[in-house]
Structure 1
């Protein structure tokens, strides 16, 4: 299997060849804070089969745990930890075709945001449901 992906601006890219070690949706508070999102979907990849192009900046979010991101656009790219020394957990949203992602489990479900249960009952729109306000009206 060959997978590819990149950050929002394209300055950082990745290529992976091999089987993934895990395909999870994580609801932990650390992932929520790190990605400013209610959940994070990621693929576990073996370090030796993962290749990066471009510069990646790392943030040590806890001892031995690093989160990589693009220094140009700020896209969160992955997390790696001494707990899984042979793996890098790449964010599924950075895949070239993230719609192809197939998670096989959810973890830290106790931290799952309860409002996610309401999503199916909310109205759906192809774009924003309201036009933007005139900037003259905004303080």
Structure 2
């Protein structure tokens, strides 16, 4: 199965097209990724660098002596991770236009996992459109809640 997916940053300045062979993705919990994203983990899709076409080039941050990360300097969206000497790279699952097709298959950086954040299925759920203070702000500024 070969499938073409698109994605990019929040503001739309950086866009990409990726050709994937499967829907496998993973969660990285390493401290470098936690610090780079400000989250307890980051979801990645690993694929050959040749399968990624940057429609508009991202900015790059050399996050360590052995790795770098693409991002958008305008809006701050983290877009991935790569070792420059590897033929593979990761794209952030959340930056795909339809991330729902990608499914987690494993955890990486397990030594830094925050177990309390893994299974949140029992927590109360609030839909964006049901949170009136947010809905009110959007309607006052732009007349509607964004998609």
Give TM-score, length-normalised by structure 2: 0.78
Q: CA deviation at 1:118?
A: 6.1
Corresponding residue of 1:30:
32
Q: Is the 8 A contact 1:12 1:55 kept in 2?
A: yes
Corresponding residue of 2:137:
none
**What are structure 1's unaligned runs of at least 5 residues?**
133-139
Separation in 1, partners of 2:34, 2:94: 14
**Correspondence list, 1:62-81, <5 A:** 62-81=64-83
Q: CA deviation at 1:31?
A: 0.8
Pair 1:64–1:21, CA change in 2 (3 A): farther
Query: How big is the alpha-carbon RMSD for the aligned residues of Structure 1 and Structure 2?
Result: 2.2
Corresponding residue of 1:87:
88
Query: Which secondary structure state, in structure 1, belongs to the residue aligned with residue 100 of structure 2?
Result: helix
Query: Which secondary structure state, in structure 1, belongs to the residue aligned with residue 103 of structure 2?
Result: coil
Using the TM superposition, name which of 24-33 and 108-117 deviates more.
108-117
Q: Which whole-Å deviations, capped at 9, do the CAs of 1:93-138 have from their partners, x for residues lacking one?
A: 0011012211211112221113215622322111376847xxxxxx
Corresponding residue of 1:123:
124
Pair 1:117–1:102, CA change in 2 (3 A): closer
Q: CA deviation at 1:61?
A: 1.0
Separation in 2, partners of 1:19, 1:7: 23
Corresponding residue of 1:15:
17
Q: How many residues align?
A: 131
Q: CA deviation at 1:82?
A: 4.2
**What are structure 2's unaligned runs of at least 5 residues?**
135-147
Separation in 2, partners of 1:9, 1:79: 20
Give TM-score, length-normalised by structure 1: 0.83
Corresponding residue of 1:113:
114
